[in-house]
Structure 1
Amino acid sequence: MFDYATLKLIWWLLVGVLLIGFAIMDGHDMGVGTLLPFLGKDDTDRRVMINSVAPHWDGNQVWFITAGGAVFAAWPLVYATAFSGLYWALLLVLFALFFRPVGFEYRSKLPNPAWRKGWDWGLFAGSAVPALVFGVAFGNLFQGVPFDLDDSMRSSYSGSFWALLNPFALLCGVVSLSLLTLQGATFLSHRVEGPLQRRTILAARVCGVVLLVSFSLAGMWVARMEGYVLESIPDVRGVLTPLMKEVGRAPGGWFANFNNFPQLWIIPVLAYAGVGVVLACIGSGWTLLSFVASSVACVSVILTAGVALFPFVLPSSTHPDVSLTAWDATSSQLTLTVMLWVALIFTPVVLAYTSWAYRVMAGKITRDYIAANDKQLY
């Protein structure tokens, strides 16, 4: 069907598509959860917010789970190295995510205000912490992760959890958190009305400004950073290991793909344009357009990072030559081919049932609706 090099490139793109799907779909759930304790002025407001995403949040987690599975199947060495070396960070994400299903299910089981307020903050933690950590992870990719590989391809990690929380990584965490919160705010503004909608619009504007500022600062920081440069590698159409190449570092190295292919600069420009449309339109009643524009910003921010990193997937700060790339950390050609057929068959199915579910559940969530269905809703 495709040669080995093309399959490697296709799976780099498909993993990116899954991350984008997660940011757009599960991102707006997490954005609403992040805003929950701040925009909901009373219990009914907060139930309106929760029920705006309640029919879909668990289905949207498919994107996150599938992305992890795709990394395992397409880049097993990346999965093994990252999931062992970054163990504590991944546990933090996992423990935070525990609050989401439990919080959705149990929050409204008791009328006690303290009980419900506690679960509101639990849903906040389950939404904001993963969004922040995902950005921190990308920030550390740009700086390199401290791991090495021996002759038998066993990885050893020499970093610590606290070293991951460095200034640049935290700035990238702000980019990620503001991006997903903006996605949640634009979605919520389309689903609610009245005073809650006005507060949501204000939140979207604040998140948009924070995103523009943090994204710009991160870009300027990357421009002055020593990026990784692939200096030599055997034929990428063959079977390679990470020990078969040479990698250097150079100031501005992460901008090499943009400089070599200037048309790619349209990607970060679209991020600014998407946020600009949100800021210009969300207060004028164009809430659906604002959500689409926010989704464009999600696509553009993730693609900007992906294009800058390519072909690196997991750079090594300890020994740059063993950095894992899309060319030498992949599964076999047969595995990638079988997985591609699975993706071609099931991705349209996922998109079809997701579109159907959102169409069926469309419409405003109001305070009257919550009161009329008090016993059936979250």
Structure 2
Amino acid sequence: MISLLCITMISLALADSAYGQTATPAPLISVTTDLGGNVTLPCKLQAEESLFFGSLKVTWIKVGEDQSQNEDVLVYMGLLHKRTYGNFENRAFLSDIENGDASLMLIDVSMDDMGRYRCEVMDGMEDIIQDVILEVKNGLTEGVVFPYSPHHGRYNLNFDDAVQTCKSQDAVIASFDQLLAAWKGGLDWCNAGWLNDGTVQYPITKPRQPCGGVNSRPGLRNYGFRNKQMSRFDVFCFASKLQGRFYWLVQPERLSFDEAVQACRDDDAEIAKVGQMYAAWKLEGYDRCDAGWLADGSVRYPISRPRKNCSPTEAAVRFVGFPDKKVKSYGVYCFKAEK
């Protein structure tokens, strides 16, 4: 009985040696790229001979917090079977598989691409597991989240409208992580808004009856995924560091909206956008207690140092409203881009 058991164990060991060893994870690699650029996530075969073994399979996945959240990126099983998945379709390619390089090339990188990726190579000889952390950087690593609703009132934007609205204010639609960070920084807003993943949420730091109830906990209130065409909400935008100068244009008189636009042009600038005011306020500490026109027809002013008659209780961008554009009651904020 013992000799039979020994023979069986030896046979299994020989089989394992013949058909491949258990994959051993390689050291973790970190790669950083710029938003909108291209990047290569490294994963190389141990030996070029494995290409000719006849059973090569390369799988790339994006690793989630748990296995159920993993995303398929790319599968390769020979020249006749190559496939990419979901958002990675037409953006993910193997670098140079014919020369033993299973690295993943990603083009047009977005903030959503950030995370942990796993390369699994099975070739019947020497299996490989390589994890790569992808970081995406640009001005978006430093910025400010702000809620936005258009001049015709709250809850009037479908998802596509929301994306374009943020863009028109020199911003992008915010991500969940950006809204979460803003909430941790004290953002409290009771109107629900779109995020870039198609969910609708809002941040509450001070629970109250109209915003989930007085007995609810602080946090992000989540309406979940909504119909991107039919559903209507506000939006949370994200403005990054300014590439230029935001300023109050000193004028002898108050201006109508059209006069405000022209005054900025006469100063070799443009009337400022909402995202530019938020970026100047949050990232540069801009403070002025004068209500001024902005490009969307709204009137606002940024307060970094709360004081009597100027946002006495908190630092904030104060919203006056969308007044009649013919009214000559306000000044103007301008923006001069870097040249």
Q: Please give the TM-score of this superposition, normalised by the length of structure 2.
A: 0.24
Larger RCO of the pair (alpha carbons < 8 Å, separation 6+): 1
The structure where strand makes up a greater share of residues is 2
The structure where helix makes up a greater share of residues is 1
Q: Please give the TM-score of this superposition, normalised by the length of structure 1.
A: 0.22
Higher-Rg member (1/2): 2
